[in-house]
Amino acid sequence: MRFLDLLYGIAIGDAVGNPLEFMQTVTEEDARRSYNSGALRISDDTQMTLFCAEALSEETIAEMVAPHLSRAYLRWLETQSQITLGDGLSSFKSLHHAEAPGNTCISALTSIKSGKPVLNDSKGNGTVMRCAPVAFWGSHLNLPRSKILRVAELDAQLTHKHEYAAQCSVLLTEIYLNLIGGLNLRESVTAASQSLQSQGLLNEYVHSMVLGCLDASEFKRNKVLLGGWVAEEALALAIGAVINSGTYLDAIYSAVSIEGDSDTVGAIAGGLAVASGMPVPAEAKSRLNAQDAIEYMGNSVNW
């Protein structure tokens, strides 16, 4: 599995869910229409994932990564309001557009830009949606798992101060590490959740919600009850969608057909689906509005 493939998985899931966010009574037929509508437009989920990857590509020492992440997200922030092209990812015009970016990320990064402390108690999904590169970067460098997970935690804490936000980023990173190591998704989720909980790194509520979505009937109930706006909900719904589907598109259609944050749940599900061995449709790649930036970032790193 190449990191580039993962980026495509995230981006297509994000783009299918993007026009469905905020809609009421979203069905899988709505998801199919979104996929078949023509151009696929990514949101801030894929954008921030790309900038996370760019930050990590600049550093090999885990303890030195945080400033790179902060600077990268500030570059992303500029793309949300400026059309002036810069270097690296900032040079791609396809990334210079705002697609309803999360208020917490915008507010936190605005504070960082102004030299002010980030003050919130948000467990929004703006952390878990962007952290996938951490696992692939750390695995490529053969870093100790504890250091990789610490980077995921620090990444989340840059913008979101609630403990669940960081815990979910750490959990998703651990799941990806297990998938990279050869476990299937069910094994990866179960092992990651149990391991982190035994270390006191995962709250019982998050643990129960994530494991609950491994069950088809529980996942079906949660799709009605949860909107995916917060980190633990988005992660649980994405895992449930992939676990209870047989193909990449089935997983995406299931993930985005919620009354809530369809693009974020779709993005997380898309990455997990690819990491679980579900290939994305080749024809969809060329329909992504940011294919140029995705190809650039995926080919810039050897992950």
Mean pLDDT of successive 10-residue stretches along the chain, which has 303 residues: 96 97 91 95 98 98 98 96 88 92 95 97 98 98 98 98 98 98 98 96 95 96 95 98 97 97 98 98 96 97 92
Q: How many CB atoms lie within 10 A of CB 25?
A: 7
- Domain limits of the chain? 3-300
The answer to whether the Cα torsion of 89, 94, 98, 101 is positive or negative is: negative
Amino acid 192: pLDDT: 98
Contact yes or no for 148/128 (Cβ under 8 A): no
CB-CB contact of 156 with 65 (8 Å): no
What single DSSP character describes residue 84? -
CA 260, CA 54: separation in Å to the nearest integer?
29
- b/e per residue 63-93 (b: at least 16 CB within 10 A): eebbebbbebbebbbebbeeeeeeebbbebe
pLDDT at site 292: 98
Specify the CATH number for 3-300; select among 1.10.4080.10, 1.10.1670.40, 3.40.50.300, 3.30.470.20: 1.10.4080.10
**CA–CA distance, 14 with 72 (Å, rounded to integer):** 20
Query: Among all chains, which residue has been given the structure tokens 């109930």?
Result: 221
